[in-house]
Chains A and B, each alone.
Chain A
């Protein structure tokens, strides 16, 4: 049982990072990113490939974060200066293109078979329980660091400005600030979070393949963020927890109910995510957690 809990909390910790990144972009700057999974994928593959070529894991992870951020920059620069829905559409297409490329470039990524035997970091004492526990601690450490970083950003003059842009872009422009520049910075930062989450995922599961990085991951993160309330750090954490409980519960159902196959259950899960997106946007515009807390 405790092995199971360690695994579940590690997965949650990784989703917390993804959700925090999306929260920065959407809740904080109003950017609609429908391709968050792209940076999760880039982070995972960069870190996996480098470490498989002998680069120390922590260096690989740092490179993954930097490359995910760099990948976000051109798309961000291109789409953020335009209508808000252009970014959403461009990111949807970007994420699909990343996944197609990962499946196609077999020489680098192993193609659809993916990459196996991705090493754990140096501090892991080997395979087993202690190993998983230290890794969980590492993931949670990254979560804490991310939360502290966001706190700093939100309270800085930069953070105030970004929120002002979200609330009234024209007013900020009238003050002589360039809203696009600030939004691009936030976009790149949120994508770096996605890259870190990807690196953590790759070294945790030690096996990655393109079908782990479909658009459904993006919308798992969206529902986690929306459930928690898009503008709150605590919401991102609670949302990721709720999401993980839901995913684990549905997996559990397909284990105990014999006439539901795992692929049927995957359909149920994704249909439920769709339904949750609808219900949350129609009835809970400020998140389920906030609504519950106000009562």
Chain B
């Protein structure tokens, strides 16, 4: 019986990794761009389809497919910034959010138009799960977790160990002050969106391997990712990671109780709970909320 719940928790951690990557992308935009980016889910979708495209042209290794996915989104997402979000500079956050919904719809249904609503899958050899006292672990899950950890580590290294990352954090803190200190805000914004694209692409690859690739694949993780971003504290990067993992585990552990269908509604339940009890999130500052 314990093994049953441990297996659920392991499955939840893998789900949580996907949510955490998307939540991290959301909180990066919250921290610097200061708006809720509703297109994040569809960036993930683009990543998943880019991985499928890489497979279709003959790349068989998961790593190569993942790199292709991350590369495509790391180019496309900054391009969206240049075309849509940069011209909106100085407008209210609501305008940015509405535009981000537009971006999401445009990306999702452009993909749907060209590839149809057929399901695509990443072809992988079936490998037996590692077993220990009834606890099962798929080798691919270990690989994907390793991949996700590496991707997150890379983003944090860029943010906290390089001077470009320091400049980006300065812009997040106070754009005017950063500008007067001689920081090129435009460059920093490009770095932000490259990182957002990179995280979304990796997330898309992982969710694509764990499920089937359909145009709604990213939309379906948008709400859990938003819930995790708020649970972790708006704009809080480590918070987004922890909350994402937590939400994934809670979702899986709750499924025997609430059933498969309502598992998807857990994100809303968590969101309501956070808004009611601790709107600044687990690790957020109170002032950010009002």
* Interchain CB contact (< 8 A) of B99 among A30, A79, A86, A278: A278
**Residue among B35, B230, B267 having the largest count of chain A Cβ atoms under 10 Å:** B230
Please determine whether B102 and A97 come into contact, CB atoms closer than 8 angstroms: no
**Residue among B36, B116, B227 having the largest count of chain A Cβ atoms under 10 Å:** B36
Q: Which of A10-18, A51-59, A192-200, A266-274 faces chain B?
A: A266-274
Chain A residue with minimal CB distance to B85? Answer: A282
Please determine whether A101 and B110 come into contact, CB atoms closer than 8 angstroms: no
**Residue among B87, B98, B106, B272 having the largest count of chain A Cβ atoms under 10 Å:** B98
Please determine whether A97 and B265 come into contact, CB atoms closer than 8 angstroms: yes
Q: Mark A96-136, 1 if CB is under 8 A from B, else 0.
A: 11001101100000000000000000000000000000000
Within 8 A of B (CB), among A20-37: 26, 30, 32, 34
A293 at the interface (CB under 8 A from B): no
In the complex the two chains form, what is the Cα distance from A269 to B108 in whole Å? 12
Q: Which of B11-19, B88-96, B167-175 faces chain A?
A: B88-96
Please determine whether A285 and B272 come into contact, CB atoms closer than 8 angstroms: no
Q: Mark B196-233, 1 if CB is under 8 A from A, else 0.
A: 00000000000000000000000000110011001000
A212 at the interface (CB under 8 A from B): no
Please determine whether A281 and B98 come into contact, CB atoms closer than 8 angstroms: yes
In the complex the two chains form, what is the Cα distance from A255 to B180 in whole Å? 59
Q: Which of A87-95, A155-163, A232-240, A244-252 faces chain B?
A: A87-95
B71 at the interface (CB under 8 A from A): no
Interface of A is mostly: helix
Chain B residue with minimal CB distance to A275? Answer: B106
CB of B27, distance to nearest CB on chain A (Å): 12
B109 at the interface (CB under 8 A from A): yes
CB of A35, distance to nearest CB on chain B (Å): 10
In the complex the two chains form, what is the Cα distance from A92 to B39 in whole Å? 13
Chain A residue contacts of B94, Cβ below 8 A: 26, 30, 32, 84
Chain A residue with minimal CB distance to B265? Answer: A97
Please determine whether B105 and A88 come into contact, CB atoms closer than 8 angstroms: no
B155 at the interface (CB under 8 A from A): no
Chain A residue contacts of B230, Cβ below 8 A: 86, 89
Please determine whether A96 and B105 come into contact, CB atoms closer than 8 angstroms: no
Given A89-B271, A276-B102, A278-B103, is A267 in contact with B113 using a C-beta cutoff of 8 Å?
A: yes
Please determine whether A273 and B272 come into contact, CB atoms closer than 8 angstroms: no
Please determine whether A271 and B105 come into contact, CB atoms closer than 8 angstroms: yes
Please determine whether A32 and B97 come into contact, CB atoms closer than 8 angstroms: yes
Please determine whether B117 and A263 come into contact, CB atoms closer than 8 angstroms: yes
CB of A72, distance to nearest CB on chain B (Å): 14
Chain B residue with minimal CB distance to A216? Answer: B105
Please determine whether B113 and A271 come into contact, CB atoms closer than 8 angstroms: yes
Given A271-B110, A276-B102, is A88 in contact with B261 using a C-beta cutoff of 8 Å?
A: no
Name A residues whose Cβ lies closer than 8 Å to a Cβ of B.
26, 30, 32, 34, 78-79, 82-86, 88-90, 92-94, 96-97, 100-101, 103-104, 216, 219, 222, 226, 263-264, 267-271, 273-278, 281-282, 285
Name B residues whose Cβ lies closer than 8 Å to a Cβ of A.
35-36, 38, 84, 87-88, 91, 93-95, 97-99, 101-110, 112-113, 116-117, 222-223, 226-227, 230, 234, 259, 261-262, 264-265, 267-268, 271-272, 275-276, 279, 288-290
9 chain-A/chain-B pairs, Cβ below 8 angstroms: A32-B97, A78-B272, A82-B289, A85-B93, A86-B279, A92-B223, A92-B226, A93-B226, A222-B98
Q: What 3 A-B pairs are tightest by C-beta distance, nearest first?
A: A277-B102, A274-B105, A274-B106
